[in-house]
Chains A and B, each alone.
Chain A
């Protein structure tokens, strides 16, 4: 259960202050499947990073499973991330010199889990994500879809409560993107909360709950049945200056 109240996030870009989030309040129940959509610079990635405890809000409170985590130190936040959050990125962010299984294993290594236990979990993950025959390949030897499956397996290795995916299909072709979405949705069916940032209305409409952001605020929060796909994107002239950088 995640409860955000009055979250503000501002960045200094040059001399200007950019409001990436303006008083966002949001509740996410365990097991929800939420998509966040909106034009570039609307603050959706920033919101995802705040939810994932990767970014600190300038104001507002964050309650995670009944505990106020707003004031935690960087290292405490890192431990919470390790235990409860799983990140999936648009550009995979695999360590190029490590093999697929070494990449998947990273969160468990950081958590200090014993090698034997890691091996057990690793074998299960490799099988689950169809990577068993690719375990010793380096990222450069893998296709985009395989890379993203490695990244998802990595995000899942610590059994997180929340999966945070930032444009997980943005760097994949349509077919592979569908495959990756199927994998992510299977995770959600397993009971995890899935939060998805996407540009793609088709991907976004698959979520059960859809948030739409403009200018750092949530302007629409609807179950998918009421959602009307194909809303006109914000005109670039209306965007706050420098907001592209803030949401990147």
Chain B
């Protein structure tokens, strides 16, 4: 029997009982739509979290002085024992690793920032021009720190939007001078509002060149070195390079802690993926229910079409052909249901996306494949028994019972 004929035959059957066909399509469609919707919610949550982490910087490796005995994500807890200082030379040495794209040494302190008669105490960050790219910072006005040798500094600073407002009110800020401690800095840029990230509110900080911060706080020791690997795949290489370079520079002692945000992100990723998979499987149960409906309908069809099956056998249909007739019908129902379900699921997804624009609702690719595949496989699986029964009908008996 040719495929086109099988298709045609099944099509006639499906068209012949429209209500039955529509009901099965509905059941299948609901199952597929449920899988698509639920997994897109889960995937949306996963992407949302991952984007939030991404705003810290991509492929980020954080180096801090001191060796922590336990690993964890809380930077404050990680400083253990008496650390050897992490110096600017240490930081510059890390550039030798081929896996490192760029790095930014970081010094953090607190200072009184004066502008005219106004004073405000703010966190002061000392760093280099690379910080902006590594941390994905955005400048609302002006420029970020200039490129150049980090050992020498120009008297310039970038201030947060809130600091600018409190010190200067609505006046134009760029080009104004502020005093921190006993040094004067010209404001060359204002940070865009980005909110909290890595422990600082960028609206409320002042960034100065690294050398200036070293002088200001009278220290050579770095608070952190932020390292960006060339790619996600090279994070592991970069990490081991960083550890090795610093071990050699520190006379063989492993006295720094290296954190990759990847590890944290991966954990979240795993949790949310598992969650998506779980709820997706629960939704898939509805597909199984649809499958049972198909089986029921097919069994009824075999009973109702006994005469027809007997006739087909009398006309020379083999058992395989009879089975194929039923399977083709089931596959068509499965595909139809899957298509309807994908359409409804997509509709629901775009509705959800409109209601919560911040969450990137996305159907994961595996759900797009798995849901229709499950629909078709369920349809075929639950047709096995009815099709077998049909193929085994005794033609004489099937024909005689009208």
| A interface residues (Cβ-Cβ under 8 A, vs B) | 46, 49, 52, 54-55, 74-75, 78-79, 81-83, 85, 87, 89, 91, 93, 95, 97-98, 102, 106-107, 109-112, 114-115, 154, 158, 248
Give the residues in chain B near A111, CB-CB below 8 Å.
316
Q: Is the pair B1, A112 in contact by a Cβ cutoff of 8 Å?
A: yes
Q: Is the pair B308, A95 in contact by a Cβ cutoff of 8 Å?
A: yes
Give the residues in chain A near B320, CB-CB below 8 Å.
75
Quote the shortest CB–CB distance from A77 to chain B (angstroms): 9
Q: Is the pair B318, A49 in contact by a Cβ cutoff of 8 Å?
A: no
CA distance A12 to B312 in the complex (A): 25
Q: Is the pair B308, A87 in contact by a Cβ cutoff of 8 Å?
A: no
Q: Is the pair A91, B402 in contact by a Cβ cutoff of 8 Å?
A: yes
Query: B297 on the interface (CB 8 Å rule)?
Result: no
Query: B317 on the interface (CB 8 Å rule)?
Result: yes
Give the residues in chain B near A83, CB-CB below 8 Å.
316
Quote the shortest CB–CB distance from A104 to chain B (angstroms): 11
Q: Is the pair A106, B319 in contact by a Cβ cutoff of 8 Å?
A: no
Report the stretch among B166-174, B198-206, B327-335, B392-400 that lies at the interface: B392-400
Closest B residue by C-beta to A113: B2
CA distance A46 to B400 in the complex (A): 11
Give the residues in chain B near A158, CB-CB below 8 Å.
316
Quote the shortest CB–CB distance from B342 to chain A (angstroms): 29
Give the residues in chain A near B9, CB-CB below 8 Å.
109
CA distance A91 to B311 in the complex (A): 11
Give the residues in chain B near A78, CB-CB below 8 Å.
313, 316-319
Closest A residue by C-beta to B394: A55
Query: B321 on the interface (CB 8 Å rule)?
Result: yes
Query: B315 on the interface (CB 8 Å rule)?
Result: yes
Quote the shortest CB–CB distance from B55 to chain A (angstroms): 61
CA distance A111 to B311 in the complex (A): 14
How many cross-chain pairs have Cβ atoms below 8 Å apart between A and B?
A: 71
Quote the shortest CB–CB distance from A148 to chain B (angstroms): 14
Closest A residue by C-beta to B320: A75
Q: Is the pair A248, B319 in contact by a Cβ cutoff of 8 Å?
A: no
Give the residues in chain A near B13, CB-CB below 8 Å.
97
Range of interface residues on B (Cβ < 8 Å): 20 to 34
Query: B314 on the interface (CB 8 Å rule)?
Result: yes
Closest B residue by C-beta to A158: B316
Known A-B contacts: A49-B396, A74-B319, A107-B316. Give 15 more (CB < 8 A). Answer: A52-B314, A54-B396, A75-B319, A75-B320, A79-B318, A82-B315, A82-B316, A83-B316, A87-B314, A87-B315, A95-B308, A97-B15, A98-B12, A109-B5, A110-B317
In order of increasing CB-CB distance, the 6 nearest A-B pairs are: A82-B316, A97-B16, A75-B318, A107-B315, A78-B318, A93-B311
Give the residues in chain A near B400, CB-CB below 8 Å.
248
Chain B interface, >50% SS class = helix
Query: B341 on the interface (CB 8 Å rule)?
Result: no
Closest A residue by C-beta to B2: A112
Query: B307 on the interface (CB 8 Å rule)?
Result: yes
Closest B residue by C-beta to A102: B12
Give the residues in chain B near A49, CB-CB below 8 Å.
396
| B interface residues (Cβ-Cβ under 8 A, vs A) | 1-2, 4-5, 9, 12-13, 15-16, 307-308, 310-321, 395-396, 399-400, 402
Closest B residue by C-beta to A114: B2
Quote the shortest CB–CB distance from A84 to chain B (angstroms): 9
Closest A residue by C-beta to B391: A74
Give the residues in chain A near B12, CB-CB below 8 Å.
97-98, 102
Closest B residue by C-beta to A95: B308
CA distance A75 to B317 in the complex (A): 8
Closest A residue by C-beta to B321: A110
Closest B residue by C-beta to A55: B396
The CB with the most chain B CB atoms within 10 A, among A49, A95, A115, is that of: A95
Quote the shortest CB–CB distance from A47 to chain B (angstroms): 12
Give the residues in chain A near B311, CB-CB below 8 Å.
93, 95
Q: Is the pair A93, B307 in contact by a Cβ cutoff of 8 Å?
A: yes
20 contacts between A and B (CB under 8 A): A54-B313, A55-B395, A74-B319, A75-B320, A82-B317, A83-B316, A87-B315, A93-B310, A95-B311, A97-B13, A97-B16, A106-B312, A107-B315, A109-B1, A110-B321, A112-B1, A112-B2, A115-B4, A158-B316, A248-B400
Of the candidates A54, A93, A109, which one forms a contact with B2 in the assembled complex, judged by CB atoms under 8 Å apart? A109
CA distance A154 to B396 in the complex (A): 18
Q: Is the pair A81, B396 in contact by a Cβ cutoff of 8 Å?
A: no
Quote the shortest CB–CB distance from B148 to chain A (angstroms): 80
Q: Is the pair A154, B315 in contact by a Cβ cutoff of 8 Å?
A: yes
Closest B residue by C-beta to A80: B316
CA distance A93 to B402 in the complex (A): 9
Quote the shortest CB–CB distance from B301 to chain A (angstroms): 12
Quote the shortest CB–CB distance from B322 to chain A (angstroms): 9
